[in-house]
Amino acid sequence: MSTQSAKQKVTIKTLHKFKKDGEKFACLTAYDYCSAYAANQAGVEVILVGDSLGMVIQGHDSSLPVTIGDTAYHVRCVRRGNERAMIMADLPFMSYYSESSSLENAAILMREGAQMVKLEGGAWLAETTHLLAERGIPVCAHMGLTPQSVNHLGGYSVQGRDPRRSKEIIDEAKILQSAGASVLLIECVPVNLGQELTESLDIPVIGIGAGPKTDGQILVWHDLLGLYPGKTAKFVKNYLKGNRDGVQGAIAKYVKEVKNGRFPAKQHCYF
């Protein structure tokens, strides 16, 4: 990382330039002051205040119990530790069921310090995406495995393996891009689908369990450090294990491996 890019704040424009230049970028979840500070020090470009906080912070078995108040509180904590990264925040389960709830709840997160909101779902979110984007709120569309729909999906499983569903995901991602989404986050899909989405969309694509070809990668803080006591997914890599430089060194290694394309490796991918 050059001294110049170390100082400049990451914005939507930065992410789009990364895509244009074929430069990979690293994203990580964080939920408090110290983790945001450490992520910044290590050069993480996007910090997600994810509703995974329901599991890794609150100890629930899904993200469904997370409220807008919980998310707002964690955005506020992260904002104080952040300097350069772009802060993205999840709109929690059922906080964007109507036009007014989407606008009101997105406004709460933006006022607390988020610079982009993330919504889980496909083409049905086109109007909401348009509504938010038109009013100056950058939107990240989250597709593939959408954990807020775990009960509808019947579990946390790989999405888009069959050609029909894979095509649907691509078509719906294009609809969300046209509606004004600034970024796509794609979770738990086969490598080919991650690649096809990245190549067919103009907006940057962030992957988690979506193979090495996406523009950016994201991991959950507790997974990267091997802290979560529950079952870990195939796409997770514990960067603290065997790392003599502790937490800071683990995050720095993650950033480096995303940028040089070493992460994710074959063993972290679905086919």
Q: Catalytic amino acids?
A: 187
Nearer to ligand KIV, 190 or 216 (CB): 216
The least distance separating ligand KIV from the CB of residue 210, rounded to whole angstroms, comes to 10
Q: What tokens were used for 247?
A: 């937490």
- Of the candidates 32, 45, 51, 172, which one interacts with ligand KIV according to CB under 6 A? 51
**52 binding ligand KIV? (CB under 6 A):** yes
Cα–Cα distance for residue pair 196/188, rounded to 1 Å: 14
Of the two residues 27 and 201, which places its CB atom closer to ligand KIV in the complex? 27
Between CA 211 and CA 205 the distance in angstroms is 11
Residue 29 contacts ligand KIV per CB under 6 A: yes
CA distance 260 to 240: 19
Tokens of 191: 């490598």
Residues 78-137 that bind ligand KIV (CB under 6 A): 90
CB of 90 to ligand KIV, least distance (A): 5
Cα end-to-end distance, the chain, whole Å = 32
- Of residues 149 through 208, those in contact with ligand KIV by CB under 6 A are 185, 187, 208
The kind and range of the H/E element at 27 are: strand 25-29
Minimum Å gap between C-beta 149 and ligand KIV is 12
The residue range among 45-53, 132-140, 232-240, 255-263 that interacts with ligand KIV, by the rule CB under 6 A, is 45-53
When asked if residue 236 is in the footprint of ligand KIV (CB under 6 A), the reply is no
* Contact between 220 and ligand KIV per CB under 6 A: yes
Phi and psi at residue 28, to the nearest 5°? -150, 145
Strands 116-120, 86-90: pairing is parallel
Among 15, 218, 250, 255, binds ligand KIV (CB under 6 A): 218
Q: How far apart (Å, rounded) are the C-alpha atoms in residues 89 and 131?
A: 17
Which residues are bridge partners to 38 per DSSP? Answer: none
Choose between 70 and 90: whose C-beta lies nearer to ligand KIV. Answer: 90
Q: Quick check: 143 and 185 in contact, CB under 8 A?
A: yes
Q: Which one among 18, 25, 42, 50 touches ligand KIV, defined by CB under 6 A?
A: 50
Contact range with ligand KIV by CB under 6 A, out of 47-55, 125-133, 166-174, 251-259 = 47-55
Alpha-carbon distance values, 8 to 3, 156, 166, 209 (Å): 9, 37, 37, 29
CA atoms lying within 13 Å on the CB side of residue 240: 11
| Residue 143 within binding range of ligand KIV, rule CB under 6 A | no
Stretch that binds ligand KIV, among 6-14, 48-56, 106-114, 229-237 (CB under 6 A): 48-56
**C-beta atoms surrounding 99 within 10 Å:** 12
Q: Which residues bind ligand KIV (CB under 6 A)?
A: 29, 48, 50-52, 90, 185, 187, 208, 218, 220
